[in-house]
Structure 1
Amino acid sequence: MTTVERVQPPPTAVRPKVVARAGLYALLVANAGVVTVFFVQAGFASNALIVLGRLAGLYAALLMAFQLLLVARLPWLDHRIGMDRLTSWHRWVGFGLLWTLLSHAVFITFGYAQSSSMGPVDELVELAETVEGVLRAIVALLLILVVGAVSARWARRHLAYETWHFIHLYTYVAVVLAFTHQVTAGTTFTTSPAATAYWWTLWGVALGAVCLGRLVLPLWRNLRHQLRVSAVVPESDNVVSVYITGRDLDRLPARAGQFFLWRFLTKDRWWQANPFSLSAAPDGRRLRLTAKTAGDGTAALRHLKVGTRVFAEGPYGAFTTLHRTRSETLLIAGGVGITPIRALLEDLHDHVVLIYRVATDQDAVLYDELRELAHAKGAQLHLVTGPATPDKLAPRELARLVPDVAERDVFVCGPPAMTSAVLRTLRDLGVPKPQIHFERFSLAG
């Protein structure tokens, strides 16, 4: 096996994740301040309920724009924070948005009902019939309520991903309807040219970020690189590696530990995107993914033909050496979670310890490669086999294998239960949080 020497970035005291997260918080707080200033300058309404309703509506609109930024898949944010965490933040901000919108609707309806001496229902009907944009806002709120309902945990467990994703796309319809309501009925941004310019700029940036990250960049990169399947190699009865080549791959900004959303453009699978990590560090000539059969989509990989066109979105993920804080590293993998770990091992040059946790020796995917690579790099490789219980990576066992674990960066990738158990062990052993790096395997595997 041939390895390519790479210049490895030194550990950094300034965590890229902290910088990116602080930037997002500062952006949200600064815009909340600007919105509040414009709201005060526009003057107050006739009663407190209407004032509260309008302010809640403004903050809801700001959260909606922030939501778009979180899922725009902008490389600078994604490579520092990670898609799994950005997606989690998007989910929780979404629930905050839902309650803020409901507060806006309730306060506005009861506020105007109080002023007109009408009942709340009659007042809502009156507003929908007489005020431009209110009916669109009601439709937008109903759509967001539906999306919020199907995003609850109990609903997600009973819905296929494709069904949930299709329903979730209606959020963009709600965004357009809500924005047209804001610019027609929102007095805060219709009475001041500066406020109007600010609001259009804010939403232009938010929607532009989504268009750039979700559409323009993937299309441009795929047109540039013209990816195709170059080989399909069965690794075992239920694991297969797919090699992909293309033009100018040395200019593709992919790093070991990252993943792509892969679409193989066959007549029966072109519509389906699957997230697979790179199982080898990018070398500028080809990419490799390795997948375990877990359904029809992954089973079909074994039957791909050489030359099949590939549409790849990415690279995504913050599970890279960019986030190192120490010179020595511990890599911990479980099952097919070895794929990004194997790529990281290839990319690391300081003293590395790799622990590979599997049920049986036969489950150790790419183990021959790992032994050869570990020998070439002078890394320690531990294959830990056996049932899930008792925990063979409990604090005492892990400290025996790696006595200086608290002095290392630790990268963890595996099934959710194993990852959670290892994270608890690392905390028990006193490994500082900045030295622990992981991505949820359910997203990035």
Structure 2
Amino acid sequence: MNPPLQSTVAAGPRAPGVTNRPPGSADPFRAQSRRRLLRADVLTVLAWASVAGAVALWLADGGASGFSSLSGSFTAVGIVAGLAGMDLVVLMLLLAARIPVIDTTVGHDRALEFHRKLGKPALYLLLAHGILIASGYGMAEGLDPVSEAVALWVLVPDMWLAFVSVALFVAVVVTSLVGVRRRFPYEFWYAVHLLTYAAVLTAIPHQFSVGGLFAQGTWQRWYWLALCIATGAALLHYRVLEPLVATFRHQLTVSRVVPVTPGVVSIEMKGLHLRDLARSGGRFFIWRFLAPGLWWHPHPFSLSAEPVQFDAAGTGVLRITVRNLGHGSSQLAAVKPGTKVAVEGPYGLFSTAARSRSRVVMIGAGIGITPLRALLERTPFEPGNATVLLRGHSEAELYLGEEILELCRQRGATLFHLTGPRPAGGPSWLPETAAGAGHRLASYVPDVSDSDVYICGPAAWARSVLHDARAAGAGEEQLHYERFDW
């Protein structure tokens, strides 16, 4: 059976600013990928070195002497657990700080994935810290751990803050569990998650005031002061100051809202200095529409078209395309022209910066098609070296399909429309007719093992595409999928 509808378009005029690579020249994307993977290795080493360094500095300041007795050993192990746990918490904050070197190395999605994975180990270490410290002190004073904990709460200055800190960490980790957070609206989860900052702030005082752990003149004191100040500065700069500067610099205002299909609209915005936002590809921004009932709700959307119509001052128009997938996104269809817009970003690695090969494959489903349209507009490739696959239940769900077809004609890309219902048995990202005929990704893209593969769509569907791409021989560095949700 032949593959479903295929629109093959020949080479044509290239998009502005995109040049072909001369035949026989070295592939620049492989060198780019090697540099990015090297940066990832360096960041990984630095992260684990920070944990090892915290413990090593404690040992260098005489910490090993605590192992001379049973009670001292419990206390010493508790201190090590606390140091390691707090260092992991700091790493979690840095991973969520949207620091550019992290964002452009591993991507926003993977950074938050690592952030979530560190949550449980950090909590377990902090709980072990409290239990072991109470046990060690209690052994030395002839008290059970519970009585010692009560005594520490009542008698030791700043210690009550440590108990509050642990309780806040428990609340954050529990509400971050997938099965729990899906029961609450995003705004509730986000408010609870802000308690992480309160948990860190309440944990710091007892570290510097109790037991002389970070005594004046010790390397430990300077290490933790520098680490806490640097982390706080990164959060303030990248999470607060940069978004404020971007909002005031670009002065975005909704110019019009254009229906695309039922339940889908494109929101066009005018602004200043929009050249700065060009070439973002499929990277996403966080938008806040400054209108009653909307201003406090962040919306992570990619551009569905590159900024255009620049004048000498960089004034232009940009566009996002939104589907009604819930209460928050449904309100955007009614946003009024003239509404001011706050913007953060761009974030993520869903862009040319992730490329590792000269060939590229773009696969989108539903509203996940729209970031591919912006990526297709700008990412470099030679005519014949790009394939675009759009998946939907019907042609109406291939959003911006006409625009994508025209871009494929201009740039010499191959376009497949994969429409139809899902297969009844077993997971497959293809339509029922194609899956039943035994088609796979390699049926449409025979050279997928030597291509970059960009995937954007619902999570379960994307996992099926990723599985198919791996089975076709694509390596992990060639697979680019990033969730824009929370």
TM-score of the pair, normalised by structure 2: 0.87
Question: Are residues 1:13 and 2:31 paired?
Answer: yes
Classify the secondary structure of the residue corresponding to 2:162. helix
Classify the secondary structure of the residue corresponding to 1:332. strand
Partner of 1:382: 416
Partner of 1:28: 47
Superposition map of 1:270-289 within 5 A:
270-283=295-308, 285-289=316-320
1:360 to 377, 380, 394: 394
Question: Are residues 1:37 and 2:56 paired?
Answer: yes
Shift of 1:130: 2.1
Amino acid corresponding to residue 24 of structure 1 in structure 2 = L
Superposition map of 1:68-79 within 5 A:
68-79=93-104
Deviation string 1:289-310 (CA, Å, 9 cap, x unpaired) is 1011112322222222222100
Aligned CA RMSD, in angstroms, stands at 2.0
Q: Which has the higher contact order (CA 8 A, sep 6+)?
A: 2
CA distance in 2, matches of 1:396, 1:404: 15
Superposition map of 1:299-378 within 5 A:
299-348=330-379, 349-350=381-382, 351-378=385-412
Classify the secondary structure of the residue corresponding to 1:28. helix
Partner of 1:238: 263
Question: Are residues 1:82 and 2:99 paired?
Answer: no
Question: Are residues 1:188 and 2:213 paired?
Answer: yes
Amino acid corresponding to residue 411 of structure 1 in structure 2 = Y
Question: Are residues 1:433 and 2:476 paired?
Answer: yes
The gaps in structure 1 that reach 5 residues or longer are none
Shift of 1:369: 0.7
Question: Are residues 1:116 and 2:141 paired?
Answer: yes
Classify the secondary structure of the residue corresponding to 2:293. coil
Tell whether the 8 Å contact from 2:14 to 2:411 is kept in structure 1 after alignment.
no
Distance change (3 Å), C-alpha of 1:253 and 1:374: closer
Question: Are residues 1:401 and 2:444 paired?
Answer: yes
Partner of 1:162: 187
CA distance in 2, matches of 1:318, 1:19: 16
Amino acid corresponding to residue 197 of structure 1 in structure 2 = W
Amino acid corresponding to residue 361 of structure 2 in structure 1 = L
Amino acid corresponding to residue 410 of structure 2 in structure 1 = A
Identity of aligned residues (%): 37
Tell whether the 8 Å contact from 1:399 to 1:405 is kept in structure 2 after alignment.
yes
Shift of 1:100: 0.4
Classify the secondary structure of the residue corresponding to 2:125. helix
Classify the secondary structure of the residue corresponding to 1:434. helix
Could you tell which deviates more after superposition, 201-210 or 73-82?
Answer: 73-82
Partner of 2:176: 151
2:153 to 119, 128, 131: 128
Q: Provide runs of 4+ in structure 1 moved above 6 Å.
A: none
CA distance in 2, matches of 1:438, 1:177: 37
Distance change (3 Å), C-alpha of 1:186 and 1:233: farther
Amino acid corresponding to residue 61 of structure 2 in structure 1 = A
Classify the secondary structure of the residue corresponding to 2:305. coil
Tell whether the 8 Å contact from 1:336 to 1:365 is kept in structure 2 after alignment.
yes
Shift of 1:29: 2.6
Classify the secondary structure of the residue corresponding to 1:167. helix
Amino acid corresponding to residue 90 of structure 1 in structure 2 = H
Classify the secondary structure of the residue corresponding to 1:189. coil
CA distance in 1, matches of 2:116, 2:279: 27
CA distance in 2, matches of 1:314, 1:77: 14
Deviation string 1:190-239 (CA, Å, 9 cap, x unpaired) is 15343322211111011111111110110111111111112211111111
Question: Are residues 1:417 and 2:436 paired?
Answer: no
1:217 to 228, 238, 242: 242
Shift of 1:405: 1.5
CA distance in 1, matches of 2:300, 2:126: 33
Question: Are residues 1:256 and 2:294 paired?
Answer: no
The gaps in structure 2 that reach 5 residues or longer are 1-12, 22-27, 311-315
Could you tell which deviates more after superposition, 292-301 or 61-70?
Answer: 292-301
Could you tell which deviates more after superposition, 293-302 or 393-402?
Answer: 393-402
Classify the secondary structure of the residue corresponding to 1:278. strand
Amino acid corresponding to residue 5 of structure 1 in structure 2 = P
Shift of 1:96: 0.9
Tell whether the 8 Å contact from 1:416 to 1:442 is kept in structure 2 after alignment.
no
Could you tell which deviates more after superposition, 292-301 or 132-141?
Answer: 292-301
Could you tell which deviates more after superposition, 33-42 or 239-248?
Answer: 33-42
Shift of 1:180: 1.2
Shift of 1:14: 4.5
Amino acid corresponding to residue 52 of structure 1 in structure 2 = V
Superposition map of 1:173-184 within 5 A:
173-184=198-209
CA distance in 2, matches of 1:157, 1:232: 30
Tell whether the 8 Å contact from 2:58 to 2:220 is kept in structure 1 after alignment.
no
Superposition map of 1:37-56 within 5 A:
37-43=56-62, 44-45=65-66, 47-56=72-81
